[in-house]
Amino acid sequence: MKPQLGSLLSINQLTTEQIEAILALARRMDPDRPSQLLHGKRVVLLFYEASTRTRTSFEFAAKALGAVTTLVTATSSSIEKGESLIDTGWTVESIGADVIVMRHPNSGSAHLLARYMTVPIINAGDGMHQHPSQGLLDALTILNHKKELRGLRVVIVGDVYHSRVARSNAELLSRFGAEVVFCGPRDFVPEIAATLAPGVVVNHDLNAALQGADVVMALRVQKERLAGRHHSVEDYIAHYQVTPQRMKLAKPDAILMHPGPVIRGMELTSEVADGPQSCIHEQVRNGVKTRMAILAMVLGAAH
């Protein structure tokens, strides 16, 4: 069976078989042994938000498969004044894009673009909504260390409310039967977060949440978002920073993940980031492999 993908907009859009197929293909991808699978294909990277990591990852992935990439960036001020997203999309499509990889500050922007374009859209992050390639690369990373996702206890700690990474991860992990614990201060982890998917729970006490955890995933916390809220930076660090002591509460073979960019001393300490349980660098490597697989599948070149 060869699952048809079309655009990749969200985790929920994917069937379980499609997720498994992407992960299987990603495992076979090797960025160090370039191929010509996507020779002649034109990949447009449409970035309305600065993101060196995700952009570079998609760019390397495309190039490793022999595709040509073009970067189109827009500042938020040009969005306010300039042409509509749909018009920009049509322009990019008319120029000859075979696929558009888009990062955008508004939730739902990838869905909007996909409704009007004929070429597939890959959502590289839309507002607080989704970041499906991150969810997939994180699953690939977890599966490098754990036999299966079913039954795992995954603690996602940090600013869940503003995090598209949290949403994509929780939806994917829930689909495969993992237990997802959202943890953080109430402003960052409202009770409503538990409605996201089956098996998702909310716990505001990190020490309790970490008991028996197989995976600890720390999210980026922006200092500006703590300002003026009930929690100060000191409070956040005291209650929610992932430290070596706290990692001991999780299972001995628990792994530590972070989507980056890591702010050392904030979400986690250097000992944890660089410690033996850390998979942060592996996540970045898996990012390129996963995005190679996504591009191949979306462009119908996967066999």
Partner 1 sequence: MESLLIQRGRVIDPASGVDAQMDVLLRGGRVVDVAPAGKLRGQAKQTVNVRGAIVAPGLIDLHVHLREPGQLHKETIASGTGAAAPGGFTSVCVMPNTLPVNDSAEITRWMQAPQRSAIVNVFPIAAATVGSAGEKLTNFAALKKAGAVAVSDDGKPILDDRLMRTALQAAARLKMTVVQHAEDTRVTAGCSMNYGATSFRLGVHGMPNSAESSVVERDIALARATKGHVHVAHLSTREALEAVRAAKKAKLRVTAEVTPHHFTLIDENVGEFNAHYKMNPPLRSVADRDALIEGIIDGTIDAIATDHAPHAFHEKQVEFERAAFGITGLETALPIVLTVLHHHFKLPLWRIIELLSVNPAKIFGLTGRGTLAKGSHADITIFDPKKKWTFDASQSMSKSKNTPFDGWNFTGRAVVTIVGGNVVWEA
* Binding stretches for partner 1 (CB under 8 A): 9, 84-86, 104, 106-109, 111-112, 116, 126-130, 161, 164, 167, 190, 192-193, 195-196
Place of tokens 């909504």: 129
Q: Smallest distance from the beta carbon of 162 to partner 1, in angstroms?
A: 8
Nearer to partner 1, 63 or 162 (CB): 162
Q: How many angstroms separate the Cα of 99 from the Cα of each of 44, 141, 180?
A: 6, 26, 33
Q: How far is the CB of 157 from partner 1 (least distance, A)?
A: 18
First to last CA, the chain: 10
Q: Please name the residues in contact with 219: beta carbons below 8 A apart, sequence gap of 6 or more.
A: 156, 157, 158, 159, 160, 163, 165, 166, 184, 258, 259, 267
Query: What is the nearest approach in angstroms of partner 1 to the Cβ of residue 9?
Result: 8
Whichever of 9 and 64 has its CB closer to partner 1, that residue is: 9
- Give the nearer residue to partner 1 in terms of CB position, either 98 or 138: 138
The residue (of 102 and 273) whose beta carbon lies closer to partner 1 is: 102
For partner 1, the closer of residues 38 and 170 by Cβ is 170
Contact between residue 250 and residue 291 where contact means Cβ atoms under 8 Å apart: no
- Burial bucket for residue 195 (CB in 10 Å: 0-12, 13-18, 19+): exposed
Q: Are 237 and 272 in contact (CB under 8 A)?
A: no
